[in-house]
Amino acid sequence: MAERKYNPDIAIHPGKTLEDTLNSLKMSQADLAHRTGLTTKTINEIIQGKNPITPDTAIKLSMVFGMSANFWNNLEKNYEETLARLSFEKQVAKELPLLQKFTCYNELYKWGYVKKTLDAKEKINNLLSFFGITSLNLVPVNLGVSFRRTKGKQVSNESLAAWLRCGEIDAQEIKTQDFDKSKLINSLESLKSLTKEKPEVFQSKLIDICSSSGIAVAFVPPLKKTYVNGATRWINPDKAIIQLSLRGNRDDIFWFTFFHEIAHLVKHSKKEQFIEFEDQKSTEDKEKEADEFACETLIPEKKYLSFISKKDTSDNAIMNFANELNISASIVAGRLCHKHNDWKKWSHLRKRLKFVSSTSC
């Protein structure tokens, strides 16, 4: 049988035990004061719950009553802990209205980040443990990220914060070397070649290559009302996170997002944090710069212009061009769809990715 922990709903001051002990021995408070060297006032205030039983007092009581000092110290410790717990439980009860904003709870349970429960207070406790905070009011403070809002869609700040926290939790499990920008830049060609692999092959290789450069890559499914493709931020000066959602389930979107996030690490300050939403055009300089980096890394503009100048965008031509660039044909097809604003003509070449779990694609 599972051990059940007893949590009393009232805190009993150890002075009550002291009073009961004196009554059972028919000893007055004055007698105890004479025996311990404490004042009668101190004894009385302990019994009334106005003063604690200090370690020094515990030793003196143990000498008078024959009980161990540990007995009295534990009474005081348990009293203080019960007081703190009851106070915290009152705080949790006050946060019930905030719980309604965390509509992502069941999704977090589905992906294994919180425990299943129907009890509202337990949900709050589970969320506090998940976020590693003491109040849901602190979620914006501890997971505040500077990012561009997606237009035309109502993003849930709570769900977005939860998604970001999932990435932090997963990233903590990934061991990395110290961040090395030069090593990361030198690995770009190897990373590009992974675009031709299936998810079950490229996932572990992608994580390994990036971890050797000081980057933890976390694959976290998108939560409802987040509309997010990826995010980049720093755990500490030597470790960064690239978090990817696989939203859209197309590998050209996935890879463009990945190299866009790489750009933030290569070109921008460690003090900055970024998050990318789906179908959002970059308007800020740093986001444009990241987009340009991803475009140029995957398909250099000069080579792309040379390719389309031949006016042959057949499947064979696309695949040959992709082989020349050592990338997936899906990425070329995606570029054509984007440039020509035609998401039907070449989409049959855009491969779908299926998300399996929070640590795999």
Residue range 294-306: mean pLDDT, rounded? 96
Domains within the chain, CATH numbers bracketed: 14-94 (1.10.260.40), 97-140 (no CATH), 171-349 (no CATH)
- The region of weakest confidence among 63-72, 161-170, 241-250, 292-301 is 241-250
Residue 223 and residue 162 in contact, taking contact as beta carbons nearer than 8 Å: yes
User: What is the pLDDT at residue 290?
Assistant: 94
User: What is the largest distance, in Å, between two alpha-carbon atoms of the chain?
Assistant: 107
Residue 186 and residue 268 in contact, taking contact as beta carbons nearer than 8 Å: no
Residues 75 and 16: their CA atoms lie apart, in Å, by 10
Residue 227 and residue 153 in contact, taking contact as beta carbons nearer than 8 Å: yes
Banded pLDDT at 180 (limits 50, 70, 90): very high
pLDDT at 273 over 90: no
Residue range 140-160: mean pLDDT, rounded? 66
> Closest by alpha carbon to 15, among 37, 40, 48, 41?
48
Residue 199 and residue 341 in contact, taking contact as beta carbons nearer than 8 Å: no
Residues 97 and 129: their CA atoms lie apart, in Å, by 18
Banded pLDDT at 281 (limits 50, 70, 90): low
Banded pLDDT at 127 (limits 50, 70, 90): very high
Residues 111 and 68: their CA atoms lie apart, in Å, by 49
Banded pLDDT at 176 (limits 50, 70, 90): very high
Mean pLDDT, rounded, of the chain = 89
Residues 65 and 96: their CA atoms lie apart, in Å, by 47
The predicted-structure confidence for 208-220, as pLDDT tens digits, reads as follows 999 999 999 999 9
Check residues 82 and 354 and name the one with the higher pLDDT.
82
Name the DSSP letter for residue 357: B
User: What is the pLDDT at residue 2?
Assistant: 44
Residues 120 and 9: their CA atoms lie apart, in Å, by 18
pLDDT at 227 over 50: yes
Residues 263 and 290: their CA atoms lie apart, in Å, by 5
User: What is the pLDDT at residue 25?
Assistant: 95
DSSP code string of 155-196: --HHHHHHHHHHHHHHHHTS--PPP-HHHHHHTHHHHHHGGG
Query: pTM for this one?
Result: 0.80
Check residues 290 and 143 and name the one with the higher pLDDT.
290
pLDDT at 348 over 90: yes
Strand partners, 274: 232
DSSP code string of 105-135: HHHHHHTTSS-----HHHHHHHHHHHHT-S-
pLDDT at 361 over 60: no
Banded pLDDT at 275 (limits 50, 70, 90): confident
